[in-house]
A and B are shown apart, each in its own frame.
Chain A
Amino acid sequence: AQKITQTQPGMFVQEKEAVTLDCTYDTSDPSYGLFWYKQPSSGEMIFLIYQGSYDQQNATEGRYSLNFQKARKSANLVISASQLGDSAMYFCAMRELSSGNTPLVFGKGTRLSVIA
């Protein structure tokens, strides 16, 4: 069974600094996708970035990058130049892909607070 672990319940970062949110995963499927979502206080889940298990390069999307270490089964999210609007819950999630269209399984999340 697939599993996502986020060990940081809460993180603080100074505005304009970079921050890394940790995520480790466990799966026996060689084909999988890793996702990060942001959930502000409004409640909507906002997609940030995706990394496929066979992708050779780490994914990047603007200020977001994914530090993918396959051997360690980690997929940490790096946010550069933090902004006050980045304060939110962040969820790591995974889909196993060999069995077709499987659902996303989420971690428990990390609450990021950006300090001015």
Chain B
Amino acid sequence: EAGVVQSPRYKIIEKKQPVAFWCNPISGHNTLYWYRQNLGQGPELLIRYENEEAVDDSQLPKDRFSAERLKGVDSTLKIQPAELGDSAVYLCASSPGQPGEKLFFGSGTQLSVL
């Protein structure tokens, strides 16, 4: 069974440039999460999808971040424009959708904003 796939693995951009991250969850997983992990910290939730609906985006900085999950499968997270403080690892995770079930994580995208 294929795991959660994220791309790109690494991204280096200059500040004020746009950037996008892509995530393909495990087949059949209804719930998809985007987390941000700053250096030396635990992951923090940015947004959670149930199928194609964003059900928890309270931590998403909406002035520059946007996300979508078309058709309830793949998801894209975008930052425009990027700031120096956005440098972090962006992790995508999915789960079947039942409470108590574990999340399956992708390898993440490491973003460096110069």
Contact = CB atoms under 8 A, between A and B. Distances in A.
Interface of A: 4, 33, 35, 37, 42-47, 50, 52, 91, 93, 95, 97, 100-109
Interface in B5-61: 31, 33, 40-45, 48, 50, 56
A107 B107 contact: no
B4 to A, nearest CB: 9
Interface residues of B, number: 27
A35 B102 contact: yes
Interface of B: 31, 33, 40-45, 48, 50, 56, 89, 91, 93, 95, 97-100, 102-108, 110
Contact of B89 (A33, A43, A100, A103): A43
A21 B45 CA distance: 23
B41 A109 contact: yes
